[in-house]
Amino acid sequence: MQEKEIVNDVLSMLKSGLGNYARMIGETSNQQLRQTLQQIRNSDEQFQYQLANIAIQKGYYQPAQPASPTDLQQVKSQVGQ
């Protein structure tokens, strides 16, 4: 397996895991468990951010172009309705 594939697989696993943490955090009534899950989620988010930056630097990933101000305003108005 090439480094690029490994990086992309790890990023994909992190993305899935972060979604799972969000669901678990929203569903737990135990405050201590909730805080622990939030700490793990925050740590994984930081790692995902760092790994994504490495992937971008190495050319393994090319992010989408930034949205235009017009596009942003359109989304804001649609969400606000």
Q: Which helix (H) or strand (E) holds 78?
A: helix 69-79
* pTM of the complete model: 0.76
pLDDT tens across 1-33, in order?
Answer: 899 999 999 999 999 999 999 999 999 999 999
Neighbouring residues of 22: CB distance < 8 A, sequence distance ≥ 6:
41
Query: What does the pLDDT read at residue 81?
Result: 67
Q: What's the rounded mean pLDDT across residues 39-66?
A: 95
Q: What's the rounded mean pLDDT across residues 22-51?
A: 97
Share of the chain above pLDDT 70, in %: 99
